[in-house]
Structure 1
Amino acid sequence: MPLKVVGAGFGRTGTRSLKEALEMLGFGPCHHMMEVFMNAETQVPFWDRVATGQKFDWEEGLGKYQSACDWPSCTFYKELADYYPQSKVILSLRDPKSWYKSVTSTILPAMKKPVDGAAGPRLPGVFGPKLMGEGTFHNDFSEANMIAVYERHNEEVKRTIPRDRLLVFEAKDGWEPLCKFLGVPVPDKPYPNMNTTEEFQSRVGGGRPPVH
């Protein structure tokens, strides 16, 4: 099943709500970091190969999905956009300082926590150093560097993806621009508002898979 939508925005930019929205609009299932935790036995080895430059096939890890957003797939938005040339790309954004505060209150602490399951112990090693530490933030988690990387990534997406194939989107924009971009009717329901910082911390603290 080819991806129809590629999410290019970093985690904590409303990606959990975007996942829900895409699935409500008929673009599900949507791959998201929570899918990695829920299917760690197959997803962790796949993303380990992707992160370390080993041989892999996108269909192996994403073949059953119609859309993808959040880490780890957003790290490879260019490769995915090339591999699925008919896909549309969504760059989810939020205020940089608000984003930094959210990440440092949720994802960074979660990276250090153990995860249950056979593949669980490999998760921090794959997604911490390889995809976020070295791969994205170069092991510098200072506010200045993380915000600089965040803003540089967003500008790169805007330069890389043709304008007619890209939607720059914030959750506060609601359904209208998203539905217009995807060519689908606007649902008669509020745009999803999911996975606040408090909800994330509750999941991690309760030993459940964190979602972004």
Structure 2
Amino acid sequence: MALKVIGAGLGRTATFSLKFALEHIGLGPCFHMSEVFAAARRNVPLWLDVAAGKPDWETVFDGFQSTTDYPACTYWRELADYYPDAKVVLTTRDANSWFDSVSETIFSERMQGSLRGTPQEKMMQGAVYAPFGDKIANRAFMTDWFERRNQEVIDMLPPERLLVFHPKQGWEPLCDFLGVAVPDAPFPRVNSRDELGEAADEQGGLPPDPETMETFARAYIDELKIKAFAA
């Protein structure tokens, strides 16, 4: 199954909302970092191969019609080349707001420290942190990189293939871009910054054991999906 939609937006740019939206309009399942962890024993080795320069995209995205969030967004350029018919959606937000969000969640010591010494940490180092490395806590560097990186996506893709999008815009621009009907449902809203923090507090971070991680991640996805459409 070839990808039809590639999410180029970085994590913490409403990528969970986009995942649920794409699935709701028939372009799912949608790959997301949560899906990596929900099948960690299968997916982490595949992404380690990607980070090592040996991607098997057909296997990585087997069964998925779309993707958003890390780690796939790191490889938006490669995926756009590999799936030339896929549309690209760039979710974005204010750079300082993004830095605050990633610093308190996915890039925090609370989250990543719990993975230290595991294959998951190695995957994150190669497929997520590689562009900025030890600058991860440097606000000036990270916000500048965020803006330059997003502009590069805009500059490199033809306008007819790219949608720059924020969920506050609702269904219309997304559905018009993808050529699907606007659903009779509220656009999914996910406050995953708070939800992820609460879940991590309960666990003491992310579960380092892959089997436990899978259970945790699948329950997290299911819980967020219910809340996303509750309004």
Q: TM-score, normalised by structure 1?
A: 0.92
Give me the whole-angstrom Cα distance separating, in 2, the residues matched to 1:114 and 1:198: 20
Residues 132, 139 of structure 1: alpha-carbon distance in 2 compared, 3 angstrom cutoff: farther
Q: Matches of 1:21 and 1:188 in 2, distance apart?
A: 12
- The answer to whether residue 137 in structure 2 is matched with residue 136 in structure 1 is no
Residue 136 of structure 1 deviates from its aligned partner by 2.0
What residue ranges of structure 2 are gaps of 5+ in the alignment?
204-215, 225-231
2:65 counterpart of 1:66: yes
1:101 counterpart = 2:97: no
> What is the distance in 2 between the residues matched to 1:56 and 1:94?
29
Where does residue 178 of structure 1 map in the other structure? Answer: 174
3-state SS, counterpart of residue 111 of structure 1 = helix
Q: State the SS of the aligned residue for 2:6.
A: strand
Q: Contact 1:174 / 1:191 at 8 angstroms: preserved in 2?
A: yes
Instruction: Give the aligned residue type for 1:126.
Output: M
* Aligned residue type for 1:151: E
1:144, distance to aligned residue in structure 2 (A): 0.7
Q: Which residue of structure 2 aligns with residue 154 of structure 1?
A: 150
Equivalent position SS for 1:89: strand
Tell me if structure 2 keeps the 8 A contact 1:19–1:30. Answer: yes
Equivalent residue, structure 1, for 2:79: 80
Q: Could you report, residue by residue, the CA deviation over 1:127-148 in whole angstroms, capped at 9, with x for unpaired residues?
A: 1x22233x12132021111111
**C-alpha RMSD over aligned residues:** 1.8
In structure 1, the residue matched to 2:113 is: 112
Q: How far apart, in 2, do the equivalents of 1:89 and 1:162 lie?
A: 10
How many angstroms apart in 2 are the aligned matches of 1:112 and 1:56? 27
Q: Which amino acid is 2:5 matched to? A: V
Q: Corresponding residue for 2:195?
A: 199
Q: Which residue of 1 aligns with 2:5?
A: 5
Q: Distance in 1 between matches of 2:193 and 2:90?
A: 21
Write the distance in 2 (CA, Å) between the matches of 1:64 and 1:159. Answer: 30
Match among 104, 122, 125 for residue 125 of structure 1: 122
8 Å Cα contact 2:7-2:90 kept in structure 1: yes
Please tell me the residue identity of whatever aligns with 1:137.
F
Q: How many residues align?
A: 205
**Aligned residues of 1:16 and 1:195 also touching (Cα < 8 A):** no
Paired residues of 1:16 and 1:194 also in contact (CA < 8 A): yes
Whether the 8 Å CA contact 2:92–2:164 is kept in 1: the answer is: yes
Q: Is the 2:48–2:122 contact (alpha carbons within 8 Å) kept by the matching residues of 1? A: no
Structure 1: which 5+ residue stretches go unaligned? none
Partners of 1:17 and 1:194 within 8 A in 2: yes
Per the TM alignment, residue 195 of structure 1 is displaced from its structure 2 partner at its CA by 3.7
Helix, strand or coil: the match of 2:88?
A: strand
What is the aligned-residue identity percentage? 46
- Work out the CA distance in 1 between the residues paired with 2:172 and 2:157: 21
Give the counterpart letter for 1:168 in structure 2. V
Aligned equivalents of 1:196 and 1:46: distance in 2?
26
Instruction: Give the letter aligned to residue 188 of structure 1.
Output: D
Aligned-pair CA distance for 1:121:
2.5
Structure-1 separation of matches of 2:179 and 2:2: 18
- Cα pair 2:47 2:127 within 8 Å, conserved: no
Letter in 2 for 1:113: S
